[in-house]
């Protein structure tokens, strides 16, 4: 079997922990000797054993000796003491003969494991043959290298390309199968961003419902703009089910002049909450948190908001569930990494398998199409950026 096959398998094992390990990366490891897999492991939860130690333990439970095996790992083994001891130490002690990893660890504290292993006489090979393994840790790498979270856009659209239904009709564009997939997405992200217009028009809950296991309880983040969050809305009434964070620009754009120009997708200055803002008291009794970020004429700096969600709320993954204006602003700023689009069937009930139409088709031009999947009469389009840390 090829190197890619083993790295692919390590990546597949790692995805079992989707939503359980953040802010750590998902990592998988496979131990192979003479063409036979003798151990498998993955990082199961934040603070738990790392993938390499899990694989070594699995190997021994199977009655195998890891000495002389090759370790195929999706991320370079760490070499520092954190919540767990160094993986390099475990690999050396176990007598691993060779290590192949799909991505260097960009973290200043934990990186450099390959060098440590090679100094111990264990050859290490950085291999990009498996895109699955290489890009598994994209959200972690993006956060470490840019200070920004991984951003997932999600929307549903009609056959004509509209993101809304005519007034008086059902607000649901897609079917129950598509809605179920959306709830699964919500159950594995750290924050869900929406706009005040969507809150006023649709009064959404933005919680994960009907999911077998909610891995993460996402913060519901509302970009307030010129209008304010109604205290009678479902988000406020359900604050015990998930924190609500309201974001607004600094009053009178006072911070905007301090915002330097930057390239698309780069984080701007991460503003702190302005304790002198009198609006802080509004909604505080309901447990609503507020953030103020740089902006111009009431429009917030989206990159600065994302940066602050990382710094203040430890967000690694953020999902966008907002109207076309805010969605378009995120795409225009080059801040979207992944998109799930749900296309409803046409008037004759035919699925939109020929592709997206209208403005959304232009939004996703920069994102490669990974897969389309028919869900009843709907079609799910999955787009994803291949993040480069180079």
- Domain with residue 288: its CATH number is 3.40.430.10
> Do 172 and 129 belong to one domain?
no
- In terms of domains, do 215 and 332 share one? yes
Residue 129 domain-assigned?
A: yes
Better-predicted residue by pLDDT, 155 or 252:
155
More confident site: 131 or 349: 131
Residue bearing the bigger pLDDT, 345 or 124: 124
Query: pLDDT > 90: what percent of the chain?
Result: 69
pLDDT tens digit sequence for 328-354:
999 999 999 999 999 987 644 555 555
Query: How long, in residues, is the chain?
Result: 390
Same domain, 24 and 119: yes
**What local confidence, expressed as pLDDT, does residue 362 receive?**
86
Number of domains in the chain: 2
Say whether both 82 and 171 belong to one domain.
Answer: no
Is residue 266 annotated as a catalytic residue, yes or no?
A: no
Poorest-pLDDT segment among 162-176, 193-207, 229-243: 162-176
pLDDT-based confidence at residue 257 (cuts at 50, 70, 90) = very low
- Residues 152, 77 share a domain: no
Average pLDDT over residues 23-37: 97
| Residue 14 · residue 28 · CB < 8 Å | yes
Give the domain-ending residue among 136, 165, 184.
Answer: 136
Q: Give me the pLDDT at residue 344, please.
A: 85
At 264-303, the pLDDT tens digits run: 455 444 444 444 444 445 556 567 999 999 987 768 999 9
If asked whether residues 313 and 352 sit together in one domain, one would say yes
One domain for residues 48 and 122: yes
Segment 222-249 shows an average pLDDT of: 91
Within a domain: 389 = no
Domain of residue 108, CATH code: 3.40.140.10
Decide which of 49 and 168 is more confident. 49
Inter-residue contact 253 to 295 (CB < 8 Å):
yes
pLDDT mean over 32-44: 97
Report whether pLDDT(165) > 70: no
Q: Name the average pLDDT for the chain.
A: 87
Domain that holds residue 380: 143-384
24-39 mean pLDDT: 97
147 and 194 co-located in one domain: yes
Catalytic annotation, pick one of 22, 52, 76, 321: 52
Give the residue from 93, 111, 136 where a domain finishes: 136
Q: Are 313 and 148 in contact (CB under 8 A)?
A: no
Residue 211 has pLDDT above 80, yes or no: yes
* Section 182-187 average pLDDT: 96
Please state the pTM of the whole predicted model.
0.87
| 322 has a pLDDT exceeding 60 | yes
**Residue 390 maps to a domain:** no
Distance of CA 147 to the CA centre of its chain: 13
157 and 95 share one domain: no
């Amino acid at each position: 079997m090829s190197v890619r096959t083993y790295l692919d398998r390590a990546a597949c094992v790692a995805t079992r922990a989707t939503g359980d390990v953040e802010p750590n990366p998902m990592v998988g490891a496979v131990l192979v000797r003479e063409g036979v897999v003798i151990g498998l492991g993955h990082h199961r939860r934040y603070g738990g054993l790392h993938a390499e130690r899990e694989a070594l333990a699995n190997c021994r439970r199977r009655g195998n000796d890891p000495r002389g095996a090759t370790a195929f790992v999706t991320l370079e083994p760490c070499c520092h003491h954190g919540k767990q001891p160094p993986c390099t130490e475990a690999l050396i002690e176990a007598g691993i003969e060779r290590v192949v990893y799909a991505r260097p660890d960009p973290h200043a504290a934990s990186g450099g494991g390959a060098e440590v292993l090679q100094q111990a006489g264990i050859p290490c090979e950085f291999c990009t043959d498996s895109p699955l393994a290489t890009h598994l840790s994209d959200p972690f790498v993006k956060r470490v290298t840019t200070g920004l979270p991984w951003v997932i856009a999600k929307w549903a659209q009609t056959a004509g390309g509209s993101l809304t239904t005519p007034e008086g009709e059902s607000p649901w564009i897609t079917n129950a199968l598509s809605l179920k997939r959306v709830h699964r997405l919500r159950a594995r992200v750290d924050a869900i961003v929406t706009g005040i217009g969507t809150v006023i028009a649709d009064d959404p809950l933005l919680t994960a419902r009907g999911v077998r296991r909610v891995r993460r309880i996402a913060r519901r983040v509302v970009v307030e703009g010129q209008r304010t969050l109604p205290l009678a809305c479902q988000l406020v009434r359900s604050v015990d089910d998930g924190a609500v964070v309201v974001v607004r620009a600094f009053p009178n754009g006072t911070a905007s002049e301090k915002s330097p120009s930057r390239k698309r997708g780069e984080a701007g200055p991460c503003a702190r909450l302005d304790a002198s803002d009198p609006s802080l008291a509004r909604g505080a009794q309901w447990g609503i948190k507020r953030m103020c970020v740089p902006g111009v004429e009431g429009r917030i700096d989206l990159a600065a908001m994302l940066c602050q969600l990382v710094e203040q709320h430890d967000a690694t993954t953020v999902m966008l569930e907002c109207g076309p204006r805010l969605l378009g602003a995120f795409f225009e700023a080059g801040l979207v990494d992944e998109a799930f689009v749900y296309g409803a069937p046409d008037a004759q009930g035919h699925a939109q398998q020929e592709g997206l139409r209208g403005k959304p088709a232009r939004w996703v031009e920069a994102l490669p199409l990974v897969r389309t999947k028919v869900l009843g009469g709907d079609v799910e389009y999955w787009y994803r950026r291949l993040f480069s840390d180079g």
